[in-house]
């Protein structure tokens, strides 16, 4: 498997499993404007991360998986904003984590888009 896709799949799978194994921190950053229980959103986003990880890992679904990962990273941005707002008066280390997550979404989206593209040696060119 390509290293960029393998790394992205591992990151997404790990994050997805954490949503189920330790849901409380994720519950706390679910925006209040979303309907229903924060735990439901935690589990839904965890399941989405695991599904996207599987799609990124498989060559046949990697393009769709990479695009879905980019969309997922954009979709969870409001949770990162909520965390930054909630932690704005926290101790400096916690505040740094919360605010550091905001710009991190950009390279994650770029990584996902890069993983969605076929490698140059895998592109098919028309034969003469």
Average pLDDT over residues 3-16: 96
pLDDT score, position 118: 84
pLDDT score, position 119: 76
79 located within any domain: yes
| Residue pLDDT, tens place only, 75-127 | 999 999 999 999 999 999 999 999 998 999 999 999 999 999 987 666 555 55
> The domain containing residue 97 runs over which residues?
3-118
Q: What is the pTM of this model?
A: 0.86
- Any alpha helices (H) in the chain, and if so which ranges? 3-21, 24-27, 38-57, 62-75, 77-86, 92-116
123 located within any domain: no
57 located within any domain: yes
Give the Å distances, CA to CA, from 46 to 27, 39, 49, 78, 85. 11, 10, 5, 16, 23
Q: How many domains does the chain have?
A: 1
pLDDT score, position 1: 66
31 located within any domain: yes
Three-state secondary-structure class, residue 65? helix
pLDDT score, position 123: 55
């Amino acid at each position: 498997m390509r290293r960029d896709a393998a790394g992205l799949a591992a990151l997404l799978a790990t994050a997805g499993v954490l949503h189920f194994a330790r849901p409380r921190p994720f519950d706390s950053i679910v925006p209040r404007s979303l309907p229903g229980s924060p735990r439901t959103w935690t589990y839904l986003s965890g399941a989405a991360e695991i599904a996207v990880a599987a799609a990124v890992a498989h060559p046949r679904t990697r393009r769709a998986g990479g695009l879905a990962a980019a969309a997922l990273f954009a979709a969870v941005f409001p949770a990162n904003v909520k965390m930054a707002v909630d932690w704005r008066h926290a101790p400096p280390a916690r505040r740094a984590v919360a605010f550091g997550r905001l710009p991190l979404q950009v390279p994650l989206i770029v990584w996902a888009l890069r993983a969605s593209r076929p490698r140059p040696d895998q592109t098919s060119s028309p034969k003469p």
